[in-house]
Amino acid sequence: MKLRKVTAASAVLLALSVAATACGGDKDDKGSGGGKKITIGIKFDQPGIGQKTPKGYSGFDVEVATYVAEKLGYKEDQIEWTESKSADRETMLQRGDVDFIVASYSITPERQKSVDFAGPYLLAHQDVLVRADDTSIKSAQDLNKARLCSVTGSTSALNVKEKLAPKAQLQKYPTYSACLTGLQNKAIDALTTDDSILAGYASQSQFKGKFKLGGLKMTNENYGIGVKKGSDLKDKINKALEAMVSDGSWQKAVDKNLGPAGYKNEPAPKIGDIKS
């Protein structure tokens, strides 16, 4: 009888052990898709890059993020998108609010102190957007005679005035969309920020054919995918990015989201190759 009782007790313990192991198997493993969901930070308000619409999410960054998630083992319906505003990105990664961030996120030495970056996956440049029929702005110096849109909270126009065109007339507008309206109405002559962002705005159906990029390449902006400091996701994401380039998906995503504005992209950057 004693032997039977011990055997029965052992069976109960074994069953509990198996159940505990099974429950442990539900724990998210972001590197293999073992978890049910993966949380990705994107921009919600950048057409062509990352935008939330009534039909869902769209843009180049969204397509990059979706491809990477798939390579990590997650289907599109397993992705939880969350808005990553520029000022919140490092904090969101440090707190673990997101697994990674794809949000026109330039790799800089200062940011690398707080978070790690996979990539870069796109080399963008600060540029200007002008009206399609404008032939007066061919260099940064030409902006000395221009009314340049300055978006509240953006440093792009200020950088141009301080470093390249001190006589540029800064015109303050609340949003990039408002700048585009001003550009269309000839209230301003140029809008400046990253060329990829400008291309995204100009690719919207209501603006197609009305604007063009200046091609000035005033800075290098190395877009990376942000991850928590020390995360093993960095290497896995890098492999996914290499696959996206090699199978042609990267170029298709660029052409689809930024091409309508005549965006001439740089070749896909090599992993770890950060242009200063």
The C-alpha angle with vertex 46 and arms to 42 and 48, in degrees rounded to 5, equals 100
DSSP state of 198: H
* pLDDT tops 50 at residue 26: no
Residue ending a domain, choose from 191, 213, 235: 213
* pLDDT tops 90 at residue 8: no
Residue ending a domain, choose from 185, 213, 241: 213
Range of the domain at 153: 126-213
Do 83 and 198 belong to one domain?
A: no
Q: Are 40 and 100 in contact (CB under 8 A)?
A: yes
Q: Which phi-psi region, left, alpha or beta, contains residue 212 (left: φ > 0; alpha: ψ -120 to 50)?
A: beta
In the predicted model, what is the mean pLDDT of residues 223-236?
98
The verdict on residue 50 lying in a domain is: yes
- Res 34: pLDDT: 60
- Domain with 188 in it: what CATH number? 3.40.190.10
Identity at 190, one-letter amino acid code: A
Of the candidates 100, 129, 84, the one whose C-alpha atom is nearest the C-alpha of residue 258 is: 129
* pLDDT tops 50 at residue 16: no
Q: Are 223 and 122 in contact (CB under 8 A)?
A: yes
CB atoms within 10 A of CB 79: 20
Which pair of structure tokens corresponds to residue 228?
């928590």
The verdict on residue 90 lying in a domain is: yes
Do 101 and 231 belong to one domain?
A: yes
List, for residues 87-121, the tens digit of each pLDDT value: 999 999 999 999 999 999 999 999 999 999 999 99
Do 100 and 175 belong to one domain?
A: no
The verdict on residue 163 lying in a domain is: yes
Which pair of structure tokens corresponds to residue 148?
């340049």
Ranges assigned E (strand) in 110-243: 115-124, 126-131, 147-151, 169-173, 190-194, 211-213, 221-228
Do 176 and 193 belong to one domain?
A: yes
Residue ending a domain, choose from 157, 188, 213: 213
Do 144 and 162 belong to one domain?
A: yes
The pTM of this model reads 0.85
Looking at every residue in the chain, the average pLDDT score rounds to: 89
Instruction: Supply the angle between the helices 60-71 and 249-258 in degrees, to the nearest 10.
Output: 160
List, for residues 247-271, the tens digit of each pLDDT value: 999 999 999 999 999 899 999 999 9
* pLDDT tops 90 at residue 17: no
Q: How many Cα atoms are found within 13 Å in the side-chain-facing hemisphere of 147?
A: 14
- Residue bearing the bigger pLDDT, 147 or 19: 147
Q: How many Cα atoms are found within 13 Å in the side-chain-facing hemisphere of 192?
A: 33
- Res 153: pLDDT: 75
Q: In what order do the strands lie in the sheet with 45-46?
A: 45-46, 50-53, 56-58
Do 118 and 74 belong to one domain?
A: yes
Q: Which phi-psi region, left, alpha or beta, contains residue 112 (left: φ > 0; alpha: ψ -120 to 50)?
A: alpha
Q: Number of folded domains in the chain? A: 2
* pLDDT tops 90 at residue 15: no
* pLDDT tops 90 at residue 20: no
Q: Are 67 and 120 in contact (CB under 8 A)?
A: no
Do 230 and 118 belong to one domain?
A: yes
- Res 28: pLDDT: 44
List, for residues 48-75, the tens digit of each pLDDT value: 999 999 999 999 999 999 999 999 999 9
